[in-house]
Amino acid sequence: MVSKAQNLRTFMLMIHLLATSVVALLAQDTPLSLTVLDEYSIPSSTTREGILFGGISGISYDSESNLYYAISDDRAERGPLRFYTLSITIDEASIQAVEIMDMITLMDVDNSEFGANAADPEAIRFLPNSQTILWASEKDRRGNTPLLREASLDGNFVRDYTIPDIFVRSGGNHGIQENSAFEAMDVSPDESTIIIGTESALMQDGEPSTIDTGSPSRIWLIDRETDETIAQYVYPLEAIPVEATLPPYSEDNGLSELVYVDETHFIAIERSFALGYGNTINIYLANLAGATDVQAFDSIEGMDFVAITKTHLLTLNEETDGIDVDNIEGATWGPTIDGQRTLLLISDNNFNPVAQPYTEIILLAVD
């Protein structure tokens, strides 16, 4: 004979299971569908005003002017710190032509040119309402602090954004990892919210990705008007997907770009390289909903938190048919053509014409 207490426990268990199922159903994302349409190569020998075009680490689309802003990660060693405007002619299925329209020098706070190694630009976003650009650097002139800056379209300084202490390198085990700071960035369409991510874990949060384990990158949301932090979340970067086969057996995986989708979703691009194999690019739809805001915690080690969830969308690697995939570091929404949304990816050729003889642009259809 079943007691009333047993009936009550059974009923409560059923309610719990039903609620859990509903939450799980609501948490599921309807993933975007990405289809490769075309690729286009710009030779690494290409110059503008006698300066090599390359090192492109970010790209942003101005739909009104049908122009693209692309930033170089040259640390003022081959030319000035700079970004470019590009004209990219796209039809319904292919990239027809790419033209470098202009090269603009990025200026420092006092509107003088940056000295060599004073900054390392890695991300750019055009702000149509403000008619400015937002750009990020993995370091400042001392190498201890990343930069987040706004500039006019002619490259002059507009404003700096305050960098929280958790990102500042100090004491040998705190702050950004070397060459693994602000690599990924986007802005909400109303320009109110900046979303920016570290390429790898902060030193106090964990280690970079290995073949066996991933790395906890930080995603930082900023109120652009007030310069205040909205939230910080942990992005679970994947383990390195392919092992190096040639000495010195170097390999890595990092968060190279973010593309805003809506208030809780963004496209995340993870870029991996293994010596002897090449590049692996994994693209995810990331969801902030339900993730723990960790902005109050200097370190997340030992914390009980919920990370950002991810849905895999596409892998491009050395086995991908029809695409000679390279070092993808930038991405932007492209034009909508005959009702079809597009996404453009662009590679950083590292100014290495032997190993990377071109800057690659990949066109994707988005459904």
Residue the block writes with tokens 């969830």: 309
3-state class of 102 per DSSP?
Answer: strand
The per-residue pLDDT for range 111-155, each reduced to its tens digit, is: 999 999 999 999 999 999 999 999 999 998 888 999 999 999 999
d(CA 19, CA 15): 6
* pLDDT per residue as tens digits for the range 293-320: 999 999 999 999 999 999 999 999 999 9
CA distance 165 to 203: 13
Q: Would the pTM of this model clear 0.85, i.e. be above it?
A: yes
pLDDT, tens digit, 9 for 90 and up, residues 229-276: 999 999 999 999 999 999 999 999 999 999 999 999 999 999 999 999
The pLDDT value given to residue 29: 60
| Residue 208 neighbours by CB distance under 10 Å | 20
DSSP letter for 176, please: P
**pLDDT-derived band of residue 93, with 50, 70 and 90 as boundaries?**
confident
Question: Does the pLDDT at position 187 exceed 50?
Answer: yes
Average pLDDT over the chain reads 92
| pLDDT for 282 beyond 80 | yes
The pLDDT of residue 6: 40
What band does 8 get if pLDDT is binned at 50, 70 and 90?
very low
Do 135 and 106 meet the contact criterion of CB atoms below 8 Å apart? yes
